Amino acid sequence: MNQVEAIGFDFFNTLITVAPPAMAEAIGRLMASLQESGLLLDSDAFRAAHKEAAIQCIKETKRDGRETHNRFWISMALTTLGQPIDPDDPLIGRAVKAYFSAFFDYSHLIPGTIEMLEKLKRYYRLGLLSNFTHAPAARDLLEWLGLTAYFDVVLISGEIGYRKPHPFVFEKLVEQFGVARERILYVGDDPDPDIRGAQEAGVTPVWITYVKDHQLPVVPGYITSQGQEFNPEVARISHWEEFLSLLGRI
């Protein structure tokens, strides 16, 4: 892989993992914020309505590639429960912030990530391309984990309006790297958005299976494509030493 000039990375389950309690804690903090703002909520009813709203919105993103946002899920859930509130109401904004605060307590770097990025930054342009609905939380999490300084390019679906595998997001990655797509690698864990998305954009994918091989839970969520497989000719790595070896940078 001597012709590689730039490397893009997915975020969750590629550079970091999230412990299973994160989702329950996040929903709990979200409801607490809404209740502190004066709303009366039945816990079970809100959880069910929020889950259904999230699933509906995420399914829509799979149809047209446009990113959704948590504020819509909350607004839809409250409307279902007879308390209609506009998605842009500051009350909902505070609840979104409370929701994502839980991720800071349960996110951990995959072993060797900092060392890998430190070494590769000497040779390549590095970028992050992540499906994440609330971009401010993603950027804060990158900073909190000490990752921001390693990336020349950071693209979050919540900011650019589309999510992987839509070709628009990979075109943005190629554009911001400023190198030929044939000289870009993209490392991700999810066969559909990461591997298929990169392939269809003419970018070379690398499948990281650290989470899969260690039987760790994927990022908490309502819909995942983790069960899918893909072309066995795609390079597969289980840990960062294998990636460095693949690049000839051991």
User: To 10 degrees, what angle do helices 70-80 and 22-36 make?
Assistant: 60
Contact 232, 238 (CB under 8 A): no
* CA–CA dist 5, 1 (Å, integer): 9
* AA letter at 15: L
pLDDT for the residue numbered 58: 92
CA angle (214 as vertex; 213, 217 as ends), nearest 5: 105
Share of residues in the chain with pLDDT > 70 (%): 94
Helix (H) / strand (E) element for 158: namely helix 157-160
3-state DSSP assignment of residue 190: coil
3-state DSSP assignment of residue 112: coil
Going by C-alpha positions, the residue among 117, 116, 147 that lies closest to residue 130 is 147
Domain boundaries, the chain: 6-19+107-247, 22-104
Share of residues in the chain with pLDDT > 90 (%): 89
pLDDT for the residue numbered 221: 57
Write the CATH number of the domain with boundaries 6-19+107-247.
3.40.50.1000
Contact 195, 164 (CB under 8 A): no
Low-confidence residues of the chain, pLDDT below 50? Answer: none
Contact 45, 82 (CB under 8 A): no
* AA letter at 136: P
pLDDT for the residue numbered 219: 64
Tens of pLDDT, residues 21-44? 999 999 999 999 999 999 999 999
For residue 87, whether the previous peptide bond is cis, meaning omega lies within 30 degrees of 0, is no
